[in-house]
Structure 1
Amino acid sequence: MPTIITCYVRWVDAFNRRVGRIIMYLIFVMIAVLLYSSISRTVFDAPLIWGVEVSQFLMAAYFMLGGAYSMQMGAHVRMDLFYSRWSDRTRAGVDIATIVLLFVFLGALLMGGISSTQYALKYGETSYTSWGPPLAPIKILMTFGVLLMLLQSLSSLFKDIARLRGVSLGGEISE
């Protein structure tokens, strides 16, 4: 494989690995927010108007920014009825076909995310709750997460093509 492709795969995999390992700690922040919200409601009889919404935003960031890392680690749900019985080359061929479909889906999602983010920035879109936080920051994070998934999908495509050719690009699942 050309050097530029090898460099791309290594760079994207390393970047998504770093982002994923940092983002995984958001779950603890979300737990802390929900715990604080629960304690303030039950013990102090002072419910928070922002607690649930902040935890929803954190979960969206956790899910969207962690998707590329999950894909890289092979942690996505896969229909394993036939897949585990196939040879490595057959798996690579099927993965290439499904990644092409994934590109279409992620491309549409990215275009929608960019459009929605532009709208939120242009018009100062806020949530319809009583707290009413601006939606642009979470939309930016979600769109960035889709972009990371798209970059990781391209990296996976290159690795699958290399596997089909009997070559290793590196960056395979290491855990």
Structure 2
Amino acid sequence: MSGLIRVATAIDALNSRVGRSVSWLVLAAVVISAGNATTRKLFNLSSNAWLEAQWYLFSAVLLLAAGWTLLNSEHVKVDLIYGRLPRRIQLYIDVVGTLLFLFPFCLITIHLSWPIVVAKFQSAEVSNNTGGLLLWPVWLLIPIGFSLLFLQGASELIKRIAVLNGKLADPADASDADDSIGKEHAA
């Protein structure tokens, strides 16, 4: 189990590094957006390539940071019942959800998107917009992003199983303690 925990730690580090790096692309997209809007208003100039670059950058952030988002438990959840359940049941739900939903969804998405990436690369297809960009780079983000998400799912699965087996401390216990400490200091 300790070897798997080391693998999970490496996956966590990878997704953390990728997520922190691609988060800077939001700034690049904002700068491009502001520049494009300014040149359009001041000089009546615009470029479809710059508009598409914004979309590509936002796509990169969304897809490549999905694993990092999972690592930090920041994905949107509908928590009507889950939060009221005992922690052990929550961990089992996470394990089952990862195995039955996250893994198949990631694998199907990778499987279905890869032939499209290859076809767009081989054809050097560009956007239908005048002055548009090549399509394969943005399509390549899909299998890469879902691969990172799959890896993070594997890391989360390893950690949940390790917690259930008593091989790893539950990080939720530390966050609960941090929350109570924060509440004590606030009072």
TM-score, structure 2 normalization: 0.86
User: Does residue 146 in structure 1 map to residue 146 in structure 2?
Assistant: yes
What is the CA–CA distance in structure 2 between the aligned matches of 1:169 and 1:116, rounded to whole Å?
Answer: 42
Q: Which moved more, 1:157-166 or 1:32-41?
A: 157-166
CA RMSD of aligned residues (A): 1.8
- Structural mapping, 1:17-32, within 5 Å: 17-32=16-31
| C-alpha contact 1:6 1:169 (8 A) present in aligned 2 | no
TM-score, structure 1 normalization: 0.92
Instruction: Give the equivalent residue in structure 2 for 1:124.
Output: 124
The structure that has the greater radius of gyration is 2
Q: Which amino acid aligns with 2:91?
A: A
| C-alpha contact 1:40 1:48 (8 A) present in aligned 2 | no
| C-alpha contact 1:19 1:66 (8 A) present in aligned 2 | yes
- Structural mapping, 1:1-175, within 5 Å: 1=1, 3-100=2-99, 101-168=101-168, 172=171
* Count of residues in Structure 1 that have an aligned counterpart in Structure 2: 173
Q: Which moved more, 1:44-53 or 1:57-66?
A: 44-53
Which sections of structure 1, spanning at least 5 residues, go unmatched? none
Give the Å deviation of 1:51.
2.2
Runs of 4+ in 1 over 3 A off after TM superposition: 172-175
Higher normalized helix content (fraction of residues): 2
Q: Which moved more, 1:133-142 or 1:20-29?
A: 133-142
Structure 1 residues 35-72: Cα deviation after superposition (integer angstroms, max 9, x where no partner): 00100111111122222211111110010001000000
Percentage identity across aligned positions? 25
